[in-house]
Structure 1
């Protein structure tokens, strides 16, 4: 029998959610089966799985050490030394806001990847002794908002569970405002509001916007504001209202103002010109500003705070 004592980064979540992190390779069905068979107990009583954990609570696992080890991913694998290519824009005891360079994945998309933003951040916090896996019971610092591989800009990292929960809730409620800079084909002189209904082709990993809803579509909304108009392109400030996959890219493409360098939704002839003239090989899209709402919660000190990151210098070279 193994007994776990709930710590700060384990509390304020359901038992089943905690167990899915602690034995993160175990199938959900296995965890619920062990709960039903009373092989997992909560404070020495039968656990239902939906109890909310508090600091000091105890969970008893009536499982062999071999079974537990079998179902635990070795988090030390994520601590292999990796070069730090992100820039720290803002940091405190709860959050890290970093500038992700274009070309770097936010999360690993297969188990063998060892150099993503998440790997770099975990190793960075480990070096600072702000994340010590031996003292945790499944918690790992996490990314709150993700960016496409070839989009640069601001990403929020939660250093503890309470922060992750609060930031994710604010994002889900659309209370954290996210702004991007993009260089698009053609000239736009006035502010715009784009709406529609979004669906994703999972086989092609490609989104599409429709005027009318369908059974699987979701509402989509994007705002834009021209910052500077060039000879054949416009520098836009774009605000995400909803947050669908490739939202800004597909929405601007749908009004015939695709983002420069975008291989999936862009104008291939213009992309070729941008590559020949400026060596642009990815979409000219940068997540440049995050604005927090007024809040009285755990992150009260971030109320109405704005965090800004300048776009890559190539943006000004092209628009000028």
Structure 2
């Protein structure tokens, strides 16, 4: 029986074990999750726990998953491909899977992309991520299928020759309903989070976030233009404006999330347009879009 071991990150503090496992193992069927708890195959710091046990940062969660040969659970979830050519692979990342290895462990989106390519060409260049999405964020994520494309696309993202749009749900009504907001972002690597400030200080980087209201109410739907691409920028910037994202327990309002029964972060990368200056002509002028799952 395979063992899954996870160190609980800061943004999972206070979550129920069962809710966290649904996020950390998005392809685990609910029937298998129930069986795991019924068999007492979940341990927290070495002690068997129930599905309602609350999590703390740094705890070690061990889950004994039924053998994949039984067909009850797939350890390698399918890859939702949006677009592919000889140079790139564009996929629709599900929430709860990391782009690259981190403290959560488990299968990454990079693993899945590499496995996908190896099925048809075992000697192919292993796809590499051109940018990142948070573990809890879903949506469009671009991978390069050769070194030349990787170099070009990393330059494109670095020089911001692209347009990235997200859809999210936030608390409250935006005033004004449309704006471009500027601030400074400071990373707190020790606590794996960032903070937003209205003035420059040592280590701070400028951030610009545009938004427009699509639906207004106690929970508003926004289309967000990510002008700069900093760590947790949308989550932290909107929270600093007084409108935290629904489902965000790290920067947001936990009581509000619970009242709205939001078990996942409502943030999706829905649109990507790239300008490579003719270096990858198949991509130039194309806009790729998906619908958010919420």
TM-score normalised by the chain length of structure 1: 0.66
Aligned to 2:212: 225
Q: Rg: which structure is higher?
A: 1
Give the paired residue count. Answer: 220
Match of 2:186 among 199, 209, 228: 199
Aligned to 1:88: 81
Could you tell me whether the CA contact under 8 Å between 1:85 and 1:101 is conserved in 2? Answer: no
Q: Residue 90 of structure 2 aligns to a residue in which SS?
A: strand
Alignment of 1:1-320 (within 5 A): 83-109=76-102, 113-129=105-121, 131-132=122-123, 140-188=126-174, 190-230=177-217, 232-275=218-261, 280-293=262-275, 295-297=277-279, 299-312=280-293, 315=294
1:60-85, Cα deviation, whole Å (9 max, x unpaired) = xxxxxxxxxxxxxxxxxxxxx95233
Q: Residue 168 of structure 2 aligns to a residue in which SS?
A: strand
1:239-287, Cα deviation, whole Å (9 max, x unpaired) = 1111111000000000100000001011111111122xxxx22210000
Q: Residue 300 of structure 1 aligns to a residue in which SS?
A: coil
Instruction: Provide the rounded CA distance (Å) in 1 between the counterparts of 2:291 and 2:185.
Output: 30
List alignment gaps of at least 5 residues for structure 1: 1-80, 134-138, 316-320
TM-score normalised by the chain length of structure 2: 0.71
Could you tell me whether the CA contact under 8 Å between 1:100 and 1:117 is conserved in 2? Answer: yes
Could you tell me whether the CA contact under 8 Å between 1:176 and 1:291 is conserved in 2? Answer: yes
1:37-79, Cα deviation, whole Å (9 max, x unpaired) = xxxxxxxxxxxxxxxxxxxxxxxxxxxxxxxxxxxxxxxxxxx
Task: Give 1:147 deviation, angstroms.
Answer: 0.8
Task: Give 1:114 deviation, angstroms.
Answer: 4.8
The structure that is helix-richer by fraction is: 1
Moved more, 119-128 or 181-190: 181-190
CA root-mean-square deviation: 1.7
Instruction: Provide the rounded CA distance (Å) in 1 between the counterparts of 2:224 and 2:79.
Output: 23
Aligned to 1:64: none
Task: Give 1:128 deviation, angstroms.
Answer: 1.8
